[in-house]
């Protein structure tokens, strides 16, 4: 049976508090091959007696210790926040296409808003000659992975809506003001879709290659139910990472999302 199509169970090894409403959950997944995993892929994580949700993989080491970083904002994620080490979860995946980072890259810039920093947990300074991460958050209490990235000698720049840490303003403003200094050869972004739309539009206007990780409601995770459809694409199968060229051809990007019932509504 293919890896993606079945639930395999594992127990939580440890849980770490990351930000005001965000925790990282660590567990062993011997069936996830570090050599094949691509940053940006996700699991469907099942919580017994509650349900399942798509969660970006925020870490994986050579010994098979994987992690997901979870913001408490729904039924499944709230149930996870109530769990403790030793509790059982189910996994399907990894699903989707991750970020495509070419070898020999000069300057890589990551623009992450809030929990959008989670898929970049596996980021490494060796992915480019120069790696810059712009972390956006509502306040200093919500900044995610600042120490993790700083410990890797990555250039970390913080922006907060209330100005309690770093640049006062949105991550998009911080990115645009630092774009000349960073001179990106590639931009990766994840976070609120309105933020990503601004980043993608800026990059497309300035001829900068860009990739963005989209979030949509997922039920099956395998392209069957079409719940995660966006302008003819299925986020679970065709994404979650899309190029700027693909996103420019998606009228729904930055404008609409879909309810669990599939109804299209404005963002």
Task: Reduce the DSSP state of residue 35 to 3 states and report it.
Answer: coil
Q: What is the mean pLDDT of residues 130-146?
A: 95
Q: pLDDT at position 136, please?
A: 96
Query: pLDDT per residue over 210-222, tens digit each?
Result: 999 998 877 677 7
Return the H-helix or E-strand segment holding 220. none
Question: Above 80 in pLDDT, residue 260?
Answer: no
Q: How confident is the model at residue 35 (pLDDT cuts 50, 70, 90)?
A: confident
The CATH H-level superfamily of 3-95 is Translation factors (2.40.30.10)
What's the whole-number mean pLDDT along residues 147-153? 93
Mean pLDDT over each residue of the chain, to the nearest integer: 91
CB-based contact 256:266 (threshold 8 Å) = yes
Local confidence band at 5 (pLDDT 50, 70, 90 cut-offs): low
pLDDT at 1 over 50: no
- 64 or 241, which is more confident: 241
pTM of the model: 0.93
Grouping H, G, I as helix, E, B as strand and the rest as coil, residue 34 is: coil
Rounded percentage of the chain residues whose pLDDT exceeds 70: 97
d(CA 178, CA 173): 9
Q: Respond yes or no on whether the N-terminal peptide bond of residue 213 is cis (omega within 30° of 0).
A: no
pLDDT tens-digit series, residues 169-209: 999 999 999 999 999 999 999 999 999 999 999 999 999 99
In angstroms, the CA 147 to CA 153 distance is 10
Question: Phi, psi at residue 184, to the nearest 5°?
Answer: -70, 140
**Domain residue spans in the chain?**
3-95, 107-266
- Residue 68 pLDDT exceeds 50: yes
Give percent of the chain above pLDDT 90: 75
Q: Is the pLDDT of residue 2 over 60?
A: no
Does the pLDDT value for residue 122 go beyond 80? yes
Total residues found in the chain within this entry = 267
Q: In the CATH scheme, what architecture does the domain 107-266 have?
A: 3-Layer(aba) Sandwich (3.40)
What string of H, E and C letters represents the secondary structure of 149-202?
Answer: HHCCCCEEEEEECCCCCCEECCHHHHHHHHHHHHCCCEEEEECCHHHHHHHHHH
């Amino acid at each position: 049976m293919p890896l993606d199509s079945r639930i395999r169970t594992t127990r939580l090894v440890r849980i770490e508090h990351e930000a005001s409403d965000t925790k990282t959950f660590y567990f062993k997944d011997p069936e996830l091959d570090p050599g094949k995993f691509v940053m940006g892929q996700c699991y469907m994580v099942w919580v017994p007696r509650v349900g399942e949700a798509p969660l970006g993989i925020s870490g994986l080491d050579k010994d098979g210790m994987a992690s997901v970083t979870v913001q408490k904002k729904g039924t499944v994620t709230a149930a996870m926040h109530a769990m403790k080490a030793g509790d059982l979860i189910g996994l399907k995946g990894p699903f989707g296409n991750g970020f495509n980072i070419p070898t020999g890259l000069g300057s890589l810039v990551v623009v992450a808003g809030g929990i959008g920093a989670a898929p970049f947990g596996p980021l490494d300074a060796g992915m480019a000659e120069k790696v810059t991460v712009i972390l956006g958050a509502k306040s200093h209490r919500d900044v995610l992975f600042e120490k993790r990235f700083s410990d890797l000698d990555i250039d970390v720049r913080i922006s907060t809506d209330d100005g309690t840490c770093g640049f006062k303003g949105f991550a998009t403003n911080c990115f645009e003001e630092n774009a000349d200094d960073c001179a990106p050869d590639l931009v990766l972004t994840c976070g609120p879709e309105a933020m990503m739309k601004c980043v993608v539009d800026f990059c497309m206007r300035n001829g900068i290659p860009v990739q963005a990780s989209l979030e949509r409601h997922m039920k099956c995770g395998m392209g069957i139910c079409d719940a995660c459809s966006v302008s003819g694409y299925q986020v679970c199968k065709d994404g979650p990472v899309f190029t700027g060229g693909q996103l420019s051809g998606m009228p729904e990007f930055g404008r609409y999302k879909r309810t669990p019932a599939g109804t299209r509504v404005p963002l």
